[in-house]
Amino acid sequence: MYEDEVLSTEHPHTSITYMGMAAANLSLAYLLTEQDHYLQEAKRWIFTAVNYDVWGYGFLVDVDLSASWMLYGLGLSYDWLKEYLTKEERHKFLDKLILQSNKIFDYGQENLGHCWSTNYWQNHNWINYSGLLTTAYAIRSEHQGAQVWIDEIKDNFEKVFEYLPEDGSNYEGTGYWRYAINFFLSAADYIRQDGGPNYFDAGFLKNSFDYRLYQSAPNWEENINFADVHDRRSSHSIAAYYKIASEYNNEQAQWLGEMVRTKFLFREAYESKIFPGILPEAFLELIWFNPAIAQQSPDALPLTKYFPDLGLVVMRSSRDTEATHLSFKSSPPGGHKQWKLSRELDKKNNWKTRSLTHYHVDFNHFILIHNDASLAIDEGYNRTSKAEVHNLITVDGTGCVGEKIWGEGDLSNSELFDLNCKGIHNVWRDVPKDAIAKIEAFSNDNGYTYAVGESSKMYYPEMELTRNARHIINSECGYFIFLDELESELEHTYTWRMHSEKYASQVNQNQFEIINGTGALNVFTVFPEARITNVDETLVEEVMTPQRPDDIRRISLKTLLIENAEKSKKSYFLNVLQPKDTLQGKLSNDISVQSIKGDGCFGVEITSKNHIETFIFSNENKIAYQEIESESKWISVVKDKVW
């Protein structure tokens, strides 16, 4: 209950984003009910915030997220309550909104090209300008300068909607998608109502729900946490789902919104690390809900989805909540479109528009879930992200070409933290133009999915790497074939890494097993034949925000490592990953895996419950094994098992 909250007369030593949202909720409640206690409570929250000298704490005071969240909520409150305030209250409220709006607007203009005002792909741009736009429309009739803000912000969003990827993907991850999406939807709505373009027709907004839907875990409650996602319950917004449902007659969005409201709301509210969280969005849920939109589960949608800009491939075994879900990602930093366009803008204007603090060193990285158990995981929120904490290959212990930046200091230094938050001090700062990863090939046909990510240019030039390609083959037989090609002009130790919540145990020389509650994973190591394996712990600690310096996120990754026994120029890692249930007997569903070696080719024969699959690879495009002959790089033959 808002009335039970004790409000500090001095700015609290934390974010105040919740205050604007509280004021909006109470203001709308009064507007709809005309009950005086809502008005009085709204005024208590409003004028507590109005009396603060500044909006924000710690860094970028008055000119970043805390201020913009306040402008969003209090701008709406002013619009809804101004006729019910005394002359003195209205004047005081309006003056504060003008003061704070000028502060954030002027900062953006004075730092064009070097702050959030031109970071067109980042949540700070969308939130800060949407918050300011909300207040600008609320006070335009009373403050002439508001039109200047509106014109600039309209120009900003014209660029944003042009520059964002048409596939709807978000390089900052599902958590920041959720954090910013309501501001994004609001800005598009305001601009359309003001006679501007209908940005709901833009590819990004049209397809953005697909991105969020396919980055839901099979249980729908949790997320797939690529990039900076604080936890697995920080990605739902009922209000956003309702708005998307209403705009596009999207029955799946209506279905998910109702699912969250009726089943997941409590845990989302109290376990999420996104502040102020889902409960303060109640006023938006009310405004954006359209009861005429029917609900439809996503059961009829394809199980496999490819988002080309982000290089994101999603595979599910079914729509059951116990299904297997594998997501694989390989792209340039921030996605293809941002990597290309930001460089063009920066060169033309002498700007720095890429703010990739929230983009992880996760090229050729994957996340795997089965039967509600996390089996191959991401480290989550991490401002000093490195390759070694992701499920990929490191070369002589090195990863991304930009990782040496962390040798200059760590983010316990407040100045470095501030630069990092501004997007200036991050691992991608000096990464050259051609240092990219990409999905080299993707195919999804007749129940067979194949993807290959290539990331050799992401590594340090002194490694002289010429090939780092990860092939993932899914023949829908209950397992995934992972083939990694490593080639260099120099000899290296290549380390295949996979992180989980639980330690892997060695079953035999060629098999590891990870058990995590109701789900488990067999890892069959086929090649290299001469290898060193190890199971270790990888610790990640990170301060969430300088506004809460004692709020430290810690995670212990249980790491399986496989290395070539002797340094070599070329190495191939062939592993078969078989998710399985733990409650049906540890070995009852195990597949059998047999290595294959031919003249210039190698592979694996996998026998599962109903099928035998023969997978063969040849770097020379010459496969000859028993009756199989092909001038191909690889071939897969799946046969029904003869009983």
**What DSSP string describes 364-391?**
TEEEEEETTEEEE----S-TT--GGGSS
H helix runs in 232-310, sequence order: 238-248, 251-259, 265-271, 282-288
Looking at the structure, do residues 579 and 599 belong to the same domain, yes or no? no
Residue 504 has a pLDDT of 98
Local confidence band at 42 (pLDDT 50, 70, 90 cut-offs): very high
Residue 553 has a pLDDT of 82
Residue 8 has a pLDDT of 96
The last residue of a domain, from among 583, 600, 632: 583
Looking at the structure, do residues 578 and 465 belong to the same domain, yes or no? yes
Residue 446 vs residue 32, higher pLDDT: 32
Local confidence band at 599 (pLDDT 50, 70, 90 cut-offs): confident
Task: Give me the mean pLDDT over the 95-120 stretch.
Answer: 97
Looking at the structure, do residues 431 and 286 belong to the same domain, yes or no? no
3-state secondary structure 528-587: CCCEEEEEEEEEEEEEEECCEEEEEEEEEEEEEEEEECCCEEEEEEEEEEEEEECCCCCC
Residue 549 has a pLDDT of 67
Has residue 79 got a pLDDT over 90?
A: yes
Residue 246 has a pLDDT of 98
Looking at the structure, do residues 622 and 485 belong to the same domain, yes or no? no
Local confidence band at 20 (pLDDT 50, 70, 90 cut-offs): very high
Has residue 546 got a pLDDT over 70?
A: no
Residue 589 has a pLDDT of 72
Task: List, for residues 209-234, the tens digit of each pLDDT value.
Answer: 999 999 999 999 999 999 999 889 89
Local confidence band at 588 (pLDDT 50, 70, 90 cut-offs): low
Looking at the structure, do residues 293 and 318 belong to the same domain, yes or no? no
Residue 496 has a pLDDT of 98
Task: Give the residue numbers spanning the domain of 84.
Answer: 1-163
Local confidence band at 590 (pLDDT 50, 70, 90 cut-offs): confident
Q: Is 614 left (phi over 0), alpha (psi -120 to 50) or beta?
A: beta
Which secondary structure element, helix H or strand E, spans residue 348, and what is its range? helix 336-349
Beta carbons within 10 angstroms of residue 443's beta carbon: 12
Has residue 417 got a pLDDT over 90?
A: no
Q: Look over the chain and give the mean of its residue pLDDT values, rounded to a whole number.
A: 94
Task: Give me the mean pLDDT over the 538-556 stretch.
Answer: 79
The helix/strand/coil state of 313 is: strand
What's the CA gap between 438 and 332, in Å, rounded?
A: 6
Residue 643 has a pLDDT of 54
What's the whole-model pTM score?
Answer: 0.96
Residue 211 has a pLDDT of 98
- Of all residues in the chain, the percent with pLDDT exceeding 90 is 85
- The CATH number linked to 366 is 2.70.98.70
Please, are residues 134 and 100 in contact by the beta-carbon 8 Å criterion? Answer: no
Looking at the structure, do residues 171 and 157 belong to the same domain, yes or no? no
> Which residues, in sequence order, are bridge partners of residue 605?
594, 614
Looking at the structure, do residues 225 and 330 belong to the same domain, yes or no? no
- The CATH number linked to 25 is 1.50.10.100
Question: Any idea which of 60-64, 352-356, 586-590 has the lowest mean pLDDT?
Answer: 586-590
Residue 48 has a pLDDT of 98
Has residue 451 got a pLDDT over 60?
A: yes
Question: Any idea which of 42-46, 84-88, 351-355, 613-617 has the lowest mean pLDDT?
Answer: 351-355
Looking at the structure, do residues 79 and 56 belong to the same domain, yes or no? yes
Task: Give me the mean pLDDT over the 285-309 stretch.
Answer: 98
Looking at the structure, do residues 523 and 428 belong to the same domain, yes or no? yes
Looking at the structure, do residues 310 and 412 belong to the same domain, yes or no? yes
Residue 320 is given by DSSP the state S
What's the CA gap between 578 and 217, in Å, rounded?
A: 18
Beta carbons within 10 angstroms of residue 110's beta carbon: 11
What's the CA gap between 447 and 242, in Å, rounded?
A: 33
For residue 160, which of 116, 195, 190 has the smallest C-alpha distance? Answer: 116
Q: State CA 462 to chain mean position distance.
A: 31
Residue 627 has a pLDDT of 85
Please, are residues 437 and 332 in contact by the beta-carbon 8 Å criterion? Answer: yes
> Which residues, in sequence order, are bridge partners of residue 545?
548
Has residue 55 got a pLDDT over 60?
A: yes
What's the CA gap between 543 and 421, in Å, rounded?
A: 12
Task: Give me the mean pLDDT over the 132-138 stretch.
Answer: 98
Looking at the structure, do residues 376 and 501 belong to the same domain, yes or no? yes
Residue 355 has a pLDDT of 87
The last residue of a domain, from among 123, 139, 163: 163
The last residue of a domain, from among 262, 297, 332: 297
Has residue 550 got a pLDDT over 80?
A: no
Local confidence band at 180 (pLDDT 50, 70, 90 cut-offs): very high
Task: List, for residues 457-505, the tens digit of each pLDDT value.
Answer: 999 999 999 999 999 999 999 999 999 999 999 999 999 999 999 999 9
Looking at the structure, do residues 429 and 567 belong to the same domain, yes or no? yes
* Number of structural domains in the chain: 4
Residue 410 has a pLDDT of 72
